[in-house]
């Protein structure tokens, strides 16, 4: 866990340094801004990819998109599993008793996982 924490902190620091070197800060009126915050506010990581040399820009853009999809799938999986665990622990004295039953074969609250997966897909 500490290794993951250290890795994330290093990556954030590296990403910030890369962004500032790709888009230096300049003064606009009475504010200090970068083109990254002005032109690529909705997708700053893609803005960093576009600032790289043209030979590698396409490859970097592909990897940014692939990593974004991967991160969203992992976050969705964590949310569904967290919701199923929450439903399992709410079984005592609540209306979630049938939802939190453990499947004999898989030993997980399968109904809760299915319900929250469907709910997540609808949202």
Which long-range CB contacts under 8 A does 117-123 form with residues at least 24 apart?
A: 117/80, 120/76, 120/79, 120/80
Residue 21: domain span: 1-51
CA gap 20, 33 in Å, rounded: 10
Residue 31 backbone phi and psi in degrees, to 5? -120, 150
Structure tokens at 66: 């692939």
Q: What's the whole-model pTM score? A: 0.53
Average model confidence (pLDDT) across the chain: 80
Residues 16 and 66 in one domain: no
Q: How many domains does the chain have?
A: 2
What are 32-66's pLDDT values in tens digits?
888 777 888 787 777 888 778 888 888 888 888 88
Residues 36 and 74 in one domain: no
Task: Write the burial class of residue 43 (CB in 10 Å: 0-12 exposed, 13-18 middle, 19+ buried).
Answer: middle
Residues 67 and 47 in one domain: no
């Amino acid at each position: 866990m500490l290794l993951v924490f250290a890795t994330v902190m290093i990556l954030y620091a590296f990403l910030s340094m890369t962004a500032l070197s790709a888009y230096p800060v300049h003064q606009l009126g009475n504010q200090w801004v970068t083109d990254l915050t002005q032109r690529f506010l909705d997708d700053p990581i893609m803005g960093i990819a576009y600032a790289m040399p043209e030979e590698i820009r396409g490859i970097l853009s592909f990897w940014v998109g692939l990593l974004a999809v991967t991160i969203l799938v992992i976050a969705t999986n964590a949310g569904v599993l967290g919701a199923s665990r929450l439903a399992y622990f709410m079984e005592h004295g609540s209306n979630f008793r049938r939802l939190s039953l453990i499947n004999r074969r898989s030993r997980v609250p399968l109904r809760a996982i299915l319900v929250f997966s469907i709910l997540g897909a609808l949202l």
